[in-house]
């Protein structure tokens, strides 16, 4: 059997998927931009370390702080029931889930009233060139299955660039660590260019990665085209080959029954 011989379950997204995706990306970007512009972009870390935070290793602990800041930033917007971004729900997700945050926006789409997006927050240091450059996004099998189960699935990568510095607290005379979000980029995983998406076979069913999260290009495609792209990346890079891919396809119901 060859890949071309398989009768797949082909996901068909709504006609306005691209419009909904753009709406979500724009709203997320504007929320983060507003937080930066209004000086709500600082995380103050108080410690009893007289010399301040260990700057040479700060990128190792930045991720959870930045994720928490992003969740809080969206939650603050949600407190205004009439917020201009039409954000109507914010949920933090457990550690092993595909994304960090689930956002829901009020928007009349062709399929329903409202648009849901899962957001994966990635932290990168402004002053460390290689920091977070090629992050793991999610497992191949998990994300491939998500688009079969929900053709309108929107998975947003939110890249937040930060810098960290210390300043002396006039009251405690100790050094406060300041983690400041200074830049951002948001994009729909499904629309990343072929060259921007790579596959790392070393973990589980393999991990999708972004080659350079700071510089990406967009290529519009359907959910089915994205599933085929993921399969191609897997088959080209995985040492397990077609037989192992077929087991995954069977286990995760990517193939029509009785085929």
Is 209 contained in some domain? no
Supply the pLDDT for residue 108: 63
Highest mean pLDDT among 5-9, 55-59, 123-127: 5-9
Instruction: Find the mean pLDDT for residues 170-194.
Output: 90
For every residue of 107-126, DSSP letters joined together read EE-SSSEEEEEEEEEEEEET
- The position carrying tokens 């460390």 is 128
| Total domain count, the chain | 1
pTM, whole model, 2 decimals? 0.91
Residue 129 lies in a domain: yes
Q: Please tell me the distance from the alpha carbon of residue 217 to that of residue 149, in angstroms, as a whole number.
A: 26
Q: pLDDT tens-digit profile of 149-181?
A: 999 999 999 999 998 888 888 887 778 888 999
- Is residue 113 domain-resident? yes
| Lowest-pLDDT range of 113-117, 221-225, 247-251 | 113-117
The verdict on residue 71 lying in a domain is yes
- Whether 5 is covered by a domain: the verdict is no
Nearest of 128, 121, 3 to residue 55 by alpha carbon: 128
Domain hosting 188: range is: 17-133+150-192+219-235
Residue 250 is assigned to a structural domain of this protein? no
44-56 residue pLDDT tens: 888 777 777 776 7
Residue 259 in domain:
no
Q: Does residue 29 lie in a domain region?
A: yes
Task: Quickly state the pLDDT bin for 259 (edges 50, 70, 90).
Answer: very low
The answer to whether residues 226 and 208 touch, using CB atoms and an 8 Å cutoff, is: no
> Does residue 232 surpass a pLDDT of 70?
yes
């Amino acid at each position: 059997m060859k890949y071309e011989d398989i009768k797949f379950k082909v996901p068909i997204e709504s006609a306005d998927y691209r419009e909904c995706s753009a709406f979500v990306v724009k709203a997320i970007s504007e929320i983060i931009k507003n937080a930066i512009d209004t000086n709500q972009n600082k995380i103050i870390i108080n410690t009893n370390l007289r010399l301040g935070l260990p700057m040479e290793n700060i990128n190792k602990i930045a991720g959870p702080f930045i994720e928490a800041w992003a969740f809080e930033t969206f939650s603050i917007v949600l407190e205004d029931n009439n917020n201009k971004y039409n954000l109507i729900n914010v949920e933090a997700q457990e550690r092993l889930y595909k994304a960090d945050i689930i956002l829901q926006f009020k928007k009349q789409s062709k399929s329903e009233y409202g648009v849901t997006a899962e957001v994966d927050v990635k932290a990168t240091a402004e002053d460390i060139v290689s920091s977070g450059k090629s992050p793991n996004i999610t497992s191949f099998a998990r994300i491939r299955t998500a688009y079969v189960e929900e053709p309108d699935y929107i998975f947003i990568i939110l890249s937040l660039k930060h810098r960290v510095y210390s300043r002396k607290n006039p009251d405690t005379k100790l050094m406060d660590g300041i983690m400041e979000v200074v830049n951002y980029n948001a994009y729909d995983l499904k629309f990343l260019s072929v060259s921007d998406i790579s596959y790392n076979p070393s973990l589980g069913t393999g991990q999708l990665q972004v080659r350079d999260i700071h510089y990406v290009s967009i290529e519009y495609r359907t959910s089915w085209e994205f599933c085929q792209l993921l399969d191609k990346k897997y088959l080209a890079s995985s040492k397990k080959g077609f037989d192992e891919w077929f087991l995954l396809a069977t286990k995760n119901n990517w193939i029509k029954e009785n085929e």
